[in-house]
Amino acid sequence: MDENLRLFDLAFRQIELFPNLDIFSHKKDGEWKPIKTEQFLTEVNALSKGLIELGVKPNEKVGLIADSSVEWHIVDFAIQQIGAVTVAIYPNITDADYQFIFNDAEIKLCIVSTKSLYNRILSFKDSIYTLKYVFAMEKHEDVRNWDELKVLGNKIPDAQLETLRNAVKAEDLATLIYTSGTTGKPKGVMLTHNNIISNVLAAREITPCQAYHRSLTFLPPCHAYERMVIYTYLYIGITTHIAESLDKIGQNIKEVQPHIMTAVPRILEKVYEKIMKAGLELNGMKRNIFDWAVKVAEDYDPDPKKRSFTYNIKLKLAKKLVLDKWYEALGGHLMTVASGSASLQAKLARVLLAAGIPLFEGYGMTEASPLISVNHYIKGTRVGTVGLAVKYVDIKLAEDGEILVKGPNVMQGYYKNNEETSKTIIDGWLHTGDIGTWEEGQFLKIIDRKKEMFKISGGKYVIPQPIEKKLLESNYIEQAMVIGDGQKFASAYIVPNYAHLVDWSKSEAPELRDLPKDQFLKQDKVVRKINKEVQLANQHFGNWEQIKRPIILLNEFTIEDGELTPTLKMKRKVILEKYKKEFEDLYHTAD
């Protein structure tokens, strides 16, 4: 492992190895505009000098609040190369979380993307004890623009910047990432340059792409996973294309034709749903062929030894008639789609893999920089697992099945929180809080979060995640959260897939299809249909784990309503509190 590489060195390294490379490309005025590495570094250096002029010192914390953009990465490196620490914060968290993070990290200066974020931070500036300066990337008359920093920096000689840059060590703190968490206050994860670089080098070994290939990014870079992946792109020499928005991701994929991209399961589920919806609109023979091809795909096993000769013939035909079109729709050049952040449905994975989409599910957490294990093209993939431990990382399972991790990627600890640190890192092993098991001796399978397991009143354990994954395999269930801690039986909050149910009603209940959504989802026929889907999922579990009397909710869990974290994990306590009445009504009336 390169012990001396610092994160901001990745850009300088590009100039040495790939002098003509476009480090980034982004959409401006309807066209993709490439940015050369040299141009990028000129911007980074100008901003660094402005930070120096305003008195930012080594190890001081600087806030960065923005969605995915070239500017985000300019700010990140500008902070790091003067020895300061990037505090990358999600743009969509609560005011209370903002205030906690700013005060905990003692942020003096913050750069935000938009006027609305600028005004939002200023609105509670009086309750942030250290904050002196806020700058916005967007230009508005009544907003301090980050160009001011570049002008201020003209006073700083290059030699002063060079001295500060040379003083930064690989073992120094590079970033604080506050985990939004599904419970409690955010915790500041302390990661050094070495921590993240160890992950970059491990990821490089299992990435088939080469210099001058194209990537597409649409996840926020304050997400530890996407950030590490983009650093890996910089290391390899891959041009990173920054998507315009989630709404335009399909269009951007067609334009960029990426070789590599990352995704979270929720996004892949949306892709799958769109494919299935298009199939449902077909008629006659075309619909029959589509349904047959999907059925073939659902039986796919990525291990060629486990596929029969007959199956391979069917697969070849299914690909020619239907499945290959899906790969082409994703640009036709993909070599890797890396999925992380949450568990991927097995059925969805099989279907996309059968279509030739090179989907590799991995596992990590911010406290591990974040990559721990991943399926990859060298050793193959096992559906339902999160693959093998990456290079430099050791994994073992505790007696209760908890996944423990050791390696140079493990964080330094939680900022100003020795109590939580000592609970989380014991004898050098990071206690992940996830329960796992081994398949084939080396492929790691996540069973559930340790804290999310619960007992029903009969004393039996219920493990929510496998049940939720099975429920989500239904085309008619959008989201599911298993409940019932301490109760007589397990149940679940079910958010129906309204669009698919409307399609279903065209033939099965045509009298309902013109009803408003809130009335439609309460109709007996619709409720029975959802219950039937739940019963199909129940067949895979023991009697005590089966979902009885599910609670159907009308509205999807969202980040905006506080039910999902920015990485789309369910905030179980928040959801339980929000639907407390429905919970109490269910169990109060239970026999």
- 227-254, pLDDT tens digit by residue? 999 999 999 999 999 999 888 888 999 9
Share of the chain above pLDDT 90, in %: 73
| 3-state SS assignment for residue 257 | coil
- Residue 383 is predicted with a pLDDT of 92
- The top-scoring range by mean pLDDT among 98-107, 273-282, 562-571 is 98-107
Mean pLDDT, rounded, for 323-347? 88
Q: Dig out the tokens for 508 from the structure.
A: 């099965």
Query: Residue 184: which pLDDT band, with cuts at 50, 70 and 90?
Result: low
Q: Which tens digits make up the pLDDT trace of 275-319?
A: 888 888 889 999 999 999 999 999 999 999 999 999 999 999 999
> Is CATH 3.40.50.12780 what the domain over 8-168+209-256 is classified as, yes or no?
yes
Please name the amino acid found at residue 450.
K
Question: What stretch(es) of the chain map to CATH 3.40.50.12780?
Answer: 8-168+209-256
- Residue 335 is predicted with a pLDDT of 96
- Residue 1 is predicted with a pLDDT of 64
Distance CA 370, CA 392 (A): 13
pLDDT for residue 371 is more than 80: yes
Q: Which tens digits make up the pLDDT trace of 137-154?
A: 999 999 999 999 999 999
- Residue 51 is predicted with a pLDDT of 98
Question: What stretch(es) of the chain map to CATH 3.30.300.30?
Answer: 454-589
**Planar angle of CA 347, 567, 328, nearest 5 degrees:** 45
pLDDT for residue 179 is more than 80: yes
pLDDT for residue 181 is more than 60: no
Distance CA 95, CA 72 (A): 21
Mean pLDDT, rounded, for 431-441? 92
- Residue 209 is predicted with a pLDDT of 97
- Residue 590 is predicted with a pLDDT of 56
Query: Parallel, antiparallel, or unpaired for β 443-449 and 413-414?
Result: unpaired
Q: Which long-range contacts (CB under 8 A, 24 or more apart) does 360-364 make?
A: 360/336, 360/387, 361/385, 361/386, 361/387, 362/338, 362/386, 362/387, 363/387, 363/434, 363/444, 363/446, 364/224, 364/225, 364/340
On average, the pLDDT of the chain sits at 92
- Residue 103 is predicted with a pLDDT of 96
- Residue 180 is predicted with a pLDDT of 67
pLDDT for residue 559 is more than 90: no
Mean pLDDT, rounded, for 429-457? 87
Exposed e or buried b per residue across 475-506, where buried means at least 16 C-beta atoms within 10 angstroms of its C-beta:
bbbbbbbbbbbebebbbbbbbbbbebbbbbbe
Mean pLDDT, rounded, for 214-234? 94
Mean pLDDT, rounded, for 157-176? 97
Mean pLDDT, rounded, for 500-528? 90
- Residue 466 is predicted with a pLDDT of 85
- Residue 183 is predicted with a pLDDT of 52
Judge contact between 260 and 207, C-beta under 8 A. Answer: yes
Q: Which tens digits make up the pLDDT trace of 22-38?
A: 999 999 989 999 999 99
| 3-state SS assignment for residue 379 | coil
Judge contact between 83 and 170, C-beta under 8 A. Answer: no
Q: Which tens digits make up the pLDDT trace of 55-85?
A: 999 999 999 999 999 999 999 999 999 999 9
Superfamily grouping for domain 454-589: ANL, C-terminal domain (3.30.300.30)
Residue whose entry in the numeric block shows the structure tokens 């939002």: 120
